[in-house]
Amino acid sequence: MADAVLTSHPAAGVEPFGPRPRRVFSRRNIFLYGTLIMVSLYYLLPLYVMIVTSLKGMPEIRFGNVFAPPLEITFEPWVKAWSTACTGLNCEGLSRGFWNSVRITIPSVIVSIAIASINGYALANWRFKGANIFFTILIVGAFIPYQVMIYPIVIILREMGIYGTLTGLVLVHTIFGMPINTLLFRNYFASVPEELFKAARVDGAGFWGIYFRIMLPMSLPIFVVAMIIQVTGIWNDFLFGVVYTKPETYPMTVQLNNIVNSVQGVKEYNVNMAATLLTGLVPLIVYFISGKLFVRGIAAGAVKG
């Protein structure tokens, strides 16, 4: 018996005592961390290439390879992408679009989240007749390609008299952000103990009272999730931005498309990459700041079906 025990362990002769021996380079760890590092490389590679390329001059790009670090670091492409790249006659780079994007994103995010959270709350906690039918329609709506809806929405906005205005664009973002966010909020609120909700009703709190005093204060994680989804979605939107606005209010993505697709002679990959990075900066920052809450919130909103 004792022999068997001894030979079954590498540390033969030593009476097992204390924690199980774990070497740092166990096969399991090599596999685990090896895989994760490989995967991380795949995910980081494009970012690396973007950054490296954006810091090179054009000659270096033409003759070097994409993975080589820049021989001579230049910030010229960034400056150009931000302030002097041309589209047609406008040579203001992305700078013009940045503030437009901010102006579009902030109200759109606020309105769409407010509405989606109230929807989710009404669906999860108040369950009026027919609510589920509307919700099912919403979920199916999440599958409709945006392109299909462009025309009907043009007509709706025209009939409402808000075509081409910021209000119109905010409405569009609210509509298309509604399915997924309502789903998340509904799931989240459904996981709040019902006793809490009942107690509040017994205490005489009404629809709005419960929403503002009970539900809102305990929903930070899911609000963070919705915020990240909406900020990235709206900031990254190109289609609605180009169709439902005009040149003075074009968001950054439209400017990005213009810069990237305005080929003048050869493609200026370095400027394109710098412009791409600049455009992605805001959602990236938002994500990095609140990424931890995102994971927590996703757990609350998605897992409890």
Q: Which is nearer to other proteins, 10 or 217 (CB)?
A: 10
In degrees and rounded to multiples of 5, residue 287 shows phi and psi of -65, -45
Q: How far is the CB of 36 from other proteins (least distance, A)?
A: 5
Say if residues 188 and 118 touch (Cβ distance below 8 Å): no
Q: Which is nearer to other proteins, 64 or 103 (CB)?
A: 64
- Residue among 214, 182, 183 at smallest CA distance from 198: 214
Q: Which is nearer to other proteins, 79 or 163 (CB)?
A: 163
Q: Which two tokens stand for residue 245?
A: 């606005």
Q: How far is the CB of 74 from other proteins (least distance, A)?
A: 18
Q: How far is the CB of 154 from other proteins (least distance, A)?
A: 5
Q: Which is nearer to other proteins, 40 or 218 (CB)?
A: 40
Q: DSSP assignment of 33-71, as one string? A: HHHHHHHHHHHHHHHHHHHHHHTS-HHHHHHS-TTSPPS
Q: What CA dihedral angle connects 109, 112, 114 and 118, to 10 degrees?
A: -160
Dist. CA 15–CA 231, nearest whole Å? 58
Q: How far is the CB of 42 from other proteins (least distance, A)?
A: 7
Q: Which is nearer to other proteins, 1 or 71 (CB)?
A: 1
Q: How far is the CB of 26 from other proteins (least distance, A)?
A: 12
